[in-house]
Amino acid sequence: MEENVSILIVEDEPRIRSGLIDFLEFHDYMVTAVEDGLEAQRAVRDHRYDLILLDLMLPKISGEDLCRQWRQNGLTTPIIMLTAKGQEREKINGLDLGADDYVTKPFSLEELLARIRAILRRTDPARSVGQRFQFGSLQVDISGLKVIVDGQEIPISKRQAMMIQTFAANPNRVISREELYEKVWGESMNEIETRTVDMHIAKLRSKIEPDPNEPTLIKTVRGVGYMYESQ
């Protein structure tokens, strides 16, 4: 399932580094590991990774500086910071610098795996479902940004595609407006945006529901959110 997902490990402690390599390779990730900041810089310049595990205290260039630099250069690859106990302040700074998450050493590998999966799902919903799939009676073509209804192609926006993907990846589960907003817009929702979500759902329904007033694909769960009912 995790095939072709590449992870860069930047960690100078040999024991932790080799533990991470073994564990992530066991879970079928493609792993590259480097041991100092300079090597990390080079690796990121020369290759594209899906995720970076970045130790904070590193020889040559610190994880903090690397993270700041990468974000300033527009790198959007998700970064999980590995921090040692007692570096609480740095942890917060780490998130300010643009890291997506952090774990505190000693961390459990299972917990790290859960965070990796969550981040990859969040940053690329296409990982949890394919590029072309059946959604109720529709055919969805994510990369082509269209749905096919009764042989007729209807263009959809990127946001609409992400909404469909989110529902398709979570059949028969109620998705709250907050969760949907976080997945599709990539940030947490404030009160005003409740309306935004509802408006986007209405717009999406007008494209994919045979009768948008009696939705059969994306149903409203009153007071909670929305649900895709899959047969």
Q: Return residues touching Ca ion (CB under 5 A).
A: 12, 55, 57
Residues with Cβ < 8 Å from 221, sequence gap 6 or more?
Answer: 174, 227
Pick 12 or 101: Cβ nearer Ca ion: 12
CB of 83 to Ca ion, least distance (A): 9
- Closest CB to Ca ion among residues 10, 140: 10
The residue nearest Ca ion at its CB is: 57
Beta strands 174-176 and 225-228 are: antiparallel
| Closest approach of Ca ion to the CB of residue 155, in Å | 49
Nearest distance in Å: CB 87, Ca ion = 10
Give me the phi and psi of 118, to 5 degrees please.
-65, -45
**In the complex with Ca ion, which residue's Cβ is closer, 39 or 55?**
55
Question: Measured from the CB atom, is 109 or 126 closer to Ca ion?
Answer: 109
Single-letter code of the amino acid located at 183: K
List, in sequence order, every residue forming a beta bridge with 154; answer none if it has no partner. 147
Is the link from the previous residue into 212 a cis peptide, with omega within 30 of 0? Answer: no
Give least dist CB 16 to Ca ion, A: 8
Instruction: Name the one residue in this structure whose structure tokens are 């910071």.
Output: 81
